[in-house]
Amino acid sequence: MIRAATPADVPAIAQLIRELAEYERLTHTVVLTEADLQQHLFGERPYAEVLVAEEAGTIVGFALFFHNYSTFRGKPGIYLEDLFVIPSARGQGYGKALLRAIAQLAVERGCARVAWAVLNWNTPAIAFYQALGATPLNEWTVYRLTGDALERLARS
């Protein structure tokens, strides 16, 4: 079953985010707190939305996403920040169901596209996305400002 997350789901979502970080070999970068997640998902100004995949009352996967905007298309889009299904539930259709639900939201909301990034070494995810009809944008390079570089630019 796929459904929108509720505030009661925050601890489970936070745990899945930690498991995703472990899978992606990025545990050392996680500073997330449940309080921050609660505020950012369900506070006065939500920054993102989450869909969860549930099996027998247990959350086995999630998709965290937010809206962006395509200036060329003149329409909103959805950016999928994270998609994760626990290893024991993989291959049962939860990832596809989460992506289908996001695609349905995108169509209902008049979005021009759904986009996301995947680590180059994550061949199972790449094969999964390509099997769904997604195409890589090899001509684009993602840039990121964080930490001291972000602070320096903000103060300059």
Q: Mean pLDDT of successive 10-residue segments in the chain (156 residues)? A: 97 97 92 96 97 96 97 96 95 95 97 94 92 92 90 94
Residue 83 has what pLDDT? 96
pTM, to two decimals? 0.92
The backbone region for 25, taken as left when phi is positive above 0, alpha when psi lies in -120 to 50, beta otherwise, is: left
Q: Which domains does the chain have, with CATH numbers?
A: 2-155 (3.40.630.30)
Residue 150 has what pLDDT? 93
Q: What are phi and psi of 67, to 5 degrees?
A: -85, 145
Residue 141 has what pLDDT? 87
Annotated catalytic sites, by residue? 129
Residue 113 has what pLDDT? 96
